[in-house]
A and B are shown apart, each in its own frame.
Chain A
Amino acid sequence: KNQVEQSPQSLIILEGKNCTLQCNYTVSPFSNLRWYKQDTGRGPVSLTIMTFSENTKSNGRYTATLDADTKQSSLHITASQLSDSASYICVGRAGNMLTFGGGTRLMVKP
C-alpha cells in the first residue's frame, strides 16, 4: 500500500528563521514526488517536483531534497516570511495515482 508520512505535524518558527520539513514515502512504482503549499481555504500550489534521479531542487527560498534509497524527502525553507504560514503537503506519484501526506502546518510568527 502506498503511504506518505510527514513530520512534524505542526511547527512554529520566528520570522527570518530557517526550517526543514520531512517526508517519508512508500510509493510504487515511483514516478515523482511533489511538495505543495496550501494556504487556508485554498487549493494546493506546487512548489517542486522531483523524479528518481534528482537529489535537490530549489524554488526561491524553498529547497527540496530527495533520497531515493531511504525514500525520504525534505523541504527546507530559508529566511522564513510571514507569508510562508501554510500547510505543506508532500505527494508521491505512482503512475496516475497520487498519495498525499497529512501535511505539516507551519506558522511563522513576527
Chain B
Amino acid sequence: GAGVSQSPRYKVTKRGQDVALRCDPISGHVSLYWYRQALGQGPEFLTYFNYEAQQDKSGLPNDRFSAERPEGSISTLTIQRTEQRDSAMYRCASSLGQAHSGNTIYFGEGSWLTVV
C-alpha cells in the first residue's frame, strides 16, 4: 500500500495474555519508529530501527515489551503478560532515510489495544 499499515486496528485482550502488533512501513523506508499514545496525550517514544538494527529501545516501559524487524521491513511490537495500564494506541511511523534533518515521517493509523 501507499502508507504505513498497522494491524490489528483494534485489539481487546485479557490481562496476562501476550499480544503482537504489526507494522508494515512504506516500501523502501529505512527507519521505523514505534510510539505509544494514551488518550488525550502526545505520542510517547518506544523504540526505533534503522534497517533491521534496533537503534534505541530506551523508551520501552519494561522487559515485557520487545520489538523486532528481522528483515528490515515489517516490524512486530510484542507485549507479554499484558496489564491494564498497557491499554493505549500504539503507533508506527517510518521515514525514508536515517539521516538527520528534513526526512518526512509518515505515521500509520495505529493499533488500539484494550486490556481488560
**B42–A93 CB distance below 8 A:** no
Q: Count residues of B near A (Cβ-Cβ below 8 Å).
A: 24
B62: which A residues are within 8 A, CB to CB?
A: none
A32 to B35 Cα, complex, angstroms = 19
Q: Determine if A95 and B109 form an interchain contact, defined as CB atoms under 8 angstroms apart.
A: no
Give the chain A neighbours of B1 by CB distance below 8 A: none
Interface residues of B in 29-51 (CB under 8 A from A): 31, 33, 35, 40-45, 48, 50
Most B CB within 10 A of own CB, among A42, A44, A87: A44
A86 to B98, CA, bound (A): 30
- Write out the residue numbers on chain A whose beta carbons fall within 8 Å of the beta carbon of B100: 31-32, 93, 95-96
Partner of A96, one of B41, B98, B108: B98
Selected from A46, A87, A95, A102, the residue in CB contact (under 8 A) with B104 is A46
Residues of A within 8 A of B109 (CB): 42-43
Residues in B whose Cβ lies below 8 Å from that of A31: 100-101
A96 touches B55 (CB 8 A): yes
CB pair B41 A43 closer than 8 Å: no
Binary contact track B92-115/A, C-beta < 8 Å → 1, others 0: 000000101110110111100000
B8 CB, nearest partner CB in chain A, Å: 15
Q: Which residues of B contact A (CB under 8 A)?
A: 31, 33, 35, 40-45, 48, 50, 55-56, 91, 98, 100-102, 104-105, 107-110
19 residue pairs from A and B, CB less than 8 Å apart: A6-B42, A31-B100, A43-B108, A46-B105, A49-B102, A51-B102, A87-B42, A89-B42, A93-B100, A96-B31, A96-B33, A96-B56, A96-B100, A97-B45, A98-B45, A100-B45, A102-B41, A103-B41, A105-B40
